[in-house]
Amino acid sequence: MLPGLSEAQGDARTASRGAIMRPMVARRKALEPTLVEAGQAPTMAALGAAVLQRKDAFQALATQPLTQAEMVRHTGLTNRTAFGLVQACLEAEGTPG
State how far Cα 3 lies from the chain centre. 30
Per-residue confidence band for 2, with pLDDT thresholds at 50, 70 and 90: low
CA geometry: angle 96, 33, 92, nearest 5 deg: 15
pLDDT at 97 over 70: no
Q: pTM (2 decimals)?
A: 0.34
The 10s digit of each residue's pLDDT in 14-54 is: 777 777 778 888 888 888 888 777 777 788 888 888 889 88
The 10s digit of each residue's pLDDT in 57-92 is: 878 777 777 788 988 988 898 888 888 888 887 887
